A = this chain, B = another copy of it.
Amino acid sequence: MSRYTFSILARDPGTAARRGRITTPHGTVETPAFMPVGTAATVKAMTPEEVAGLGFEMILGNTYHLTLRPGEEVIRGLGGLHRFMNWPRGILTDSGGYQVLSLADRRAITEDGVMFRSHLDGSLLNMTPERSVDIQAALGSDIAMAFDDCPALPSDRPRLVQAVARTTAWARRCRDRYLHDGRALFGIVQGGDDPELRAQSAAAITAMGFEGHAIGGVSVGESAARSRDVVRMTAPLLPEGQARYLMGMGTPGDLVAMIGLGIDLFDCVLPTRNARNGSLFTSTGRLQIKRAEYKDDPAPVDEACACTTCRSYSRAYLRHLFMAGEILGFRLNTLHNLHQYAAVVRDARAAIEAGAFGSFQERFLARWQDAAPHDAARAGAEDRPPVADPEIG
């Protein structure tokens, strides 16, 4: 069984982009990589075989959701999360820190940790840094995340200062508690959109000996441009030889921009959640499948796409399935969106290997016309229920 390692295979000469490789007890992950979100031990609407078939080597699971249902002891008893969900490749687990933000009306923060009132049955869940990494250990995560305090943006400076202090204290408690046994624990840098606080958080977190680092607190209410500013100021503060994970972002355009800033790992609910809402990513932007113009359109979603959905089904059929609330529609849309994301990081890796990421990025962003508003979808978890039977007029 391999231990966690990260190595850089190539660097782009014109940007900060890197081509790397993570090894884990469950195989390798070629980076830059995108991780589909599998909040509740399933990438919504997909089988593990389909996710692997699209080329993904690591997915994200969620501590808060899995401890509430079915419970980490159930999963441990059944051989761990990999075996439970029949996914033999890598798993990174979010620590529950994001739910401090996304479930803000259901929790109380103290210096010790966060008391949640379960969104399922109202029961109390006392999530501390120790409890978070214990759960992640029970799940058998390949990359566990430290428990952090993730404020929304905008937040006033005292709140951002408080979050940095808590995140630092909690990171140390996670580091002290976690017996990683060849697995990795990543620290998370907070600091909002304040350069000074980001620098302060990065200095504190990177001094603790984590195996890798994440930039947290982005895509939490700020504009896409502001998110990029935060990454631009933070990424260079993280150790060059370790993996850098940008939590909860973003669109294909965001990914390409952030890879150029030196990010190695991404996760986001956008491809899966948008698929269930009928919003499909193409090589140039997005397509809303419910639009009346597609009613009898025999063309595939994207002529340039090689996915099963585009090879076998028309826009008209996908529109029909969506309007009828059919499960197959959620499946085919999800397959397509995830294929798009897989293609973006695969193309980015090839461009870095060729030493031509700069021109790849320029071409990509020139054709990427994303008319959609900035997505409030940082989300290390798909906290909202699946839109499995939408009411559409």
Residue from B40, B42, B74, B323 within 8 A of A295 (CB atoms): B74
Contact A386 B326 (CB under 8 A): yes
Contact with B along A349-393 (1 / 0, CB 8 A): 000000000000000000000000000000000000110110000
Which residue of B has the minimal Cβ distance to A332? B47
- B-facing residues in A317-370 (Cβ within 8 Å): 317, 319-321, 323-328, 330-332
Contact B326 A296 (CB under 8 A): no
Given that A69-B320, A296-B74, A385-B389 are known contacts, is A326 also in contact with B42, CB under 8 Å in the complex?
Answer: yes
| Main SS class of interface, A | loop
Is residue A45 within 8 Å, beta carbon to beta carbon, of the partner chain? yes
Contact A44 B326 (CB under 8 A): yes
Interface residues on A, range: 35 or more
Among A44, A295, A314, A326, max chain B CB count under 10 A is at: A326
Is residue A208 within 8 Å, beta carbon to beta carbon, of the partner chain? no
Residue from B298, B316, B328 within 8 A of A44 (CB atoms): B328
Surface stretch bound by B, among A24-32, A78-86, A122-130, A138-146: A78-86
Which residue of B has the minimal Cβ distance to A70? B320
Contact B78 A314 (CB under 8 A): yes
- Sample of 30 A–B contacts (CB below 8 Å): A40-B320, A40-B324, A40-B326, A41-B320, A41-B321, A42-B321, A42-B326, A42-B328, A44-B326, A44-B328, A46-B328, A47-B332, A69-B320, A70-B316, A70-B319, A74-B295, A74-B320, A78-B316, A84-B314, A84-B317, A84-B320, A85-B317, A325-B385, A325-B386, A325-B388, A327-B327, A327-B330, A327-B331, A327-B386, A388-B389
Nearest Cβ on chain B to A303's Cβ, whole angstroms: 17
Contacts of A319 on B, CB cut-off 8 Å?
Answer: 70
Contact A327 B84 (CB under 8 A): no
Nearest Cβ on chain B to A52's Cβ, whole angstroms: 13
Is residue A110 within 8 Å, beta carbon to beta carbon, of the partner chain? no
Is residue A77 within 8 Å, beta carbon to beta carbon, of the partner chain? yes
Contact A41 B317 (CB under 8 A): yes
- B-facing residues in A298-317 (Cβ within 8 Å): 298, 312-314, 316-317
What 3 pairs between A and B have smallest CB-CB spacing? A388-B388, A45-B327, A70-B320
CA distance A316 to B85 in the complex (A): 10
